[in-house]
Structure formats: structure tokens, C-alpha cells
């Protein structure tokens, strides 16, 4: 049976309450359109010029207003909600884990993934170093759902295909992201389509997309890619929802005609 899924695209700022209102409105829009699974972007509750703001907003797993929001939104709209990423407690008081939590339609926490690969980039005056405020996670996250087996990754992880291989066989990869405009323009679509083709699965990418109050510019282009690497739906920039269907029969047909996953040697 086909399943309708949706990616939420945002342009988050420093006001957490406003970001949650925006996210809630877009989740409602996706659910009203029939989505059974909705994914939020990386850093959906907070993007600030001060990178330490997320440390002050961090929560202990299982308690806090950001997790309450995700849980309540999943229940209210009867969707499986992939919560982009939120800051959770790390091993040191000056850092966070950049964590993706998944809640089912009954509000149960069914999966957690902490971003493993921490983004670093410098070109001219543009500079990012996530390791200053983020503690890397360890381990992969893939879980079973009514819609098939789902693998989780976050943004910069997209550049590391071995992470996805370690998940085993999945039907859907969800990639919340906040790709920079510079790197997104060059590589975002290329990498998403490659991960879909390599794993013969659907890829749902939920991104930040626009000019943020902090001055940061993100690429956006949230999209749904099918197992053949075809972009089914996309949203170039600005807040909104990208929705489409995943089809288990399409996956099975392609894997039968091109059994690359069975031909793996390494």
C-alpha cells in the first residue's frame, strides 16, 4: 500500500516560541493533505547568531518543552513525526547532542539518532565548526514502522555513504538538514539522489531554506526522491511542505530488476 509522507521546510530564527508555532502550522498543513509521516528540518526550533543559545535550550531526553511539542503534535495530527533535530544533553555542560527523535501517532518515542558527523567548513568569511558546541553521537538508527523500515541521518551525514550501508536494508531514508547555500548549491541534490540509488530506497529530505535573522543563508530544496534517483517533489526555498507517496511495490520491482544490494561484496 502506498503511503503519503511529507517534509516540512522552514527558515527558523532565534525565537523558539515562534519557530514552534511555524512548525505546528506546517505539520497541520501536511496532515490535512493526508501525510501519515511528517519530517521537520534540522535545528527547527532554533537557529541563532549565537551558537551557545542551543546549549541553554538543551533538554534531558524524555522531558522538556521541545519534546512535549513533538509528542503533542504527533498525537494531535495522528502522524508519525520525525522531529528534525533538537538539542539534548551531552556529556559536558558546554555542548549538546544534535538529536533527531521520532514519535508515533500515539506519542510514543520510537527512535533517536544523534548526529555523528559534525560539519566543518571555511571559505573566505564563511565559517562553521559544529564541534565547538556539539558532541558527536555514536551508532546508526534504523527502525520499523507501518510504512517500512526507516533510517535516520542529519545534514552533513549525507556525505558519508558508509553510514547508510551500516543501516542495512531500508525502505526510506529521512534527512533533516540545514545545508549552507554554498554547499547545498553544489552538492545537495547530487548527494540525495546518490543515496537513493545506492540503497534502492526513497529519500525524504526536510531542509532549512532561506535567509535567517542570524544572517545565515540555507539552501533549502526539500525533496522526495524515489529509489531510481528521480526527484518526485521539491520546494526550492521558503517555508512550506513537500509531500508525495512512497510505494513498496516500486521498491520491490527495482530491487528485483537490479539486485545490487544482493551483489555487494564489501
C-alpha dihedral (218, 101, 204, 55), degrees to nearest 10: 10
Q: Which three cell numbers stand for residue 176?
A: 533533516
Marked catalytic residue, from 155, 189, 201, 217:
155
- Residue 214 in contact with residue 48, Cβ under 8 Å? yes
- Residue 222 in contact with residue 182, Cβ under 8 Å? no
| CA angle in degrees (0–180, nearest 5) for 75-137-227 | 65
Per-residue b or e along 25-43, where b marks 16 or more CB atoms closer than 10 Å to that residue's CB: ebbbbbbeeebbbbbbbbb
Active site annotation includes 42: yes
Active site annotation includes 115: yes
Marked catalytic residue, from 29, 54, 100, 115:
115
How far is the CA of 63 from the CAs of 67, 68, 73, 245, in angstroms? 6, 7, 15, 33
Marked catalytic residue, from 29, 42, 135, 189:
42
Say how far residue 203 (Cα) sits from the centre of its chain: 10
The residue behind cell 526536510 is: 206
Active site annotation includes 135: no
CB atoms near residue 162 (< 10 Å): 7
Catalytic center residues: 42, 115, 155
Amino acid at each position: 500500500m502506498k503511503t503519503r509522507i511529507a517534509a516540512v521546510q522552514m527558515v527558523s530564527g532565534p525565537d523558539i516560541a515562534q519557530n514552534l508555532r511555524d512548525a505546528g502550522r506546517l505539520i497541520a498543513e501536511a496532515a490535512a493533505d493526508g501525510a501519515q509521516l511528517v519530517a521537520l528540518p534540522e535545528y527547527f526550533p532554533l537557529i541563532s547568531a549565537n551558537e551557545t543559545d542551543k546549549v541553554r535550550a538543551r533538554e534531558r531526553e524524555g522531558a522538556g518543552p521541545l519534546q512535549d511539542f513533538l509528542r503533542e503534535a504527533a498525537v494531535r495530527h495522528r502522524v508519525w513525526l520525525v522531529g528534525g533535530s533538537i538539542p539534548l544533553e551531552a556529556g559536558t555542560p558546554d555542548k549538546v547532542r544534535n538529536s533527531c527523535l521520532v514519535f508515533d501517532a500515539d506519542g510514543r518515542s520510537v527512535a533517536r539518532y544523534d548526529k555523528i558527523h559534525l560539519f566543518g567548513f571555511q571559505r573566505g568569511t564563511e565559517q562553521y565548526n559544529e564541534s565547538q558546541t556539539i558532541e558527536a553521537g555514536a551508532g546508526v538508527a534504523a527502525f520499523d514502522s507501518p510504512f517500512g523500515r526507516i533510517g535516520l541521518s542529519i545534514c552533513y551525514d549525507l556525505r558519508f555513504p558508509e553510514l547508510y550501508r551500516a543501516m542495512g536494508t531500508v525502505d526510506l531514508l529521512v534527512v533533516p538538514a540545514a545545508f549552507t547555500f554554498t554547499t547545498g548549491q553544489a552538492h545537495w541534490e547530487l548527494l540525495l539522489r546518490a543515496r537513493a540509488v545506492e540503497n534502492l530506497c526513497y529519500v525524504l529530505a526536510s531542509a532549512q531554506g532561506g535567509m535567517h535573522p542570524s544572517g545565515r543563508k540555507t539552501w533549502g530544496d526539500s525533496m522526495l526522491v524515489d529509489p531510481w534517483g528521480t526527484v518526485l517533489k521539491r520546494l526550492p526555498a521558503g517555508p512550506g511542505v513537500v509531500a508525495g507517496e512512497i510505494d513498496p511495490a516500486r521498491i520491490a520491482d527495482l530491487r528485483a530488476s537490479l539486485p545490487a544490494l544482493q551483489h555487494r561484496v564489501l
